[in-house]
Amino acid sequence: MLSNTTIDKLLDMRFRAMADAFRIQQDDPSMKELDFEERFGLLVDAEYSRRKSNRLKKLIHDAEFEEKDASIAGIDYQQDRSLNRQLISRLATCDYISEYRNIFITGKSGSGKTYLACAFGMAACMKYYKVKFVRFSDLLMRLKEAEDESHYLKALKEYINPRLLILDEWLMNPITNAEARYVLDLIHKRRRKSSTIFCSQYEDSGWYAQLGGDETPLADSIMDRIAYDSYKINIRAKDPKNDRSMREVYGIRPEERQ
């Protein structure tokens, strides 16, 4: 039959959703009431939706989020934390990405920095931006290994290319001059082309020292490239004496975060 041949061709071209929709139309008598343009439009809509859905799934998978269920809607504003709902709503539009601006998320361990960063990352994926999440220590280790194996530039591109890069546990410890050079290479290549979210236990006023401070000119160069025109979210308890970790609030055990 002609219809079977058409379905086979659609499948051969990997138009699976269109082929399935065509089968449904063939079996649905009500479809005969629609003209050709309407029926064809429904077929195209089915294939378009499938491809957009698959693209989104791949973007989320490739981002390697630590908080895989994070979402803007899931952000907890009720706990005793100083979160600016208006700012977060504005950032959720992802306009900062098209403007090549960064976000600094700071707060003590367990304050919810990683969840918030991943929520922004999910929002970016929904806009079909390529996103990459990585722990800062893992990034440094990866670039060090790549340099030792003579494919440093190739490894660096893995973190240069995403429109949004999320660096978790940023500057937990002071870094070496060699590691600062990796950071400068990365930041310089991404500047005015993409956006980066920095999650740190230290407020940005302490980053200069963690980057080497007065002992190296690299610290100034890095801060100059990331601090200008960045949004800042400092998650702090309204009542520090009774502050509780978000892991404690939601009963998350350390092994569940691996």
CB 124 within 8 A of CB 164: yes
pLDDT band of 230, cuts 50, 70, 90 = very high
- Residues in Cβ contact with 57 at an 8 Å cutoff, skipping those fewer than 6 apart: none
DSSP 8-state class, residue 132: E
Residue 257's pLDDT is 43
Dihedral over alpha carbons 72, 74, 80, 84 (to 10 degrees): 10
Residue 154's pLDDT is 95
- What is the rounded distance in angstroms from the CA atom of residue 254 to the CA atom of residue 258? 7
CB 125 within 8 A of CB 56: yes
The verdict on pTM exceeding 0.95 is: no
* Mean model confidence pLDDT for the chain: 88
CA torsion sign for 166, 72, 111, 245 is negative
Angstrom distances, CA of residue 188 to CA of 131, 146, 191: 18, 19, 5
SS3 content of the chain, % helix, strand, coil (to 5): 55, 10, 30
- What is the rounded distance in angstroms from the CA atom of residue 196 to the CA atom of residue 119? 14
For 114-145, the pLDDT digits (tens) are 999 999 999 999 999 999 999 999 999 999 99
Residue 73's pLDDT is 94
Asked if residue 93 has pLDDT above 90, the reply is: yes
| Paired tokens of 193 | 């082309």
Residue 2's pLDDT is 59
| Paired tokens of 189 | 């290549």
- What is the rounded distance in angstroms from the CA atom of residue 153 to the CA atom of residue 109? 33
For 58-85, the pLDDT digits (tens) are 999 999 999 999 999 999 887 667 788 9
Residue 238's pLDDT is 55
- Residues in Cβ contact with 256 at an 8 Å cutoff, skipping those fewer than 6 apart: none
Q: How far is CA 63 from the centre of its chain?
A: 6
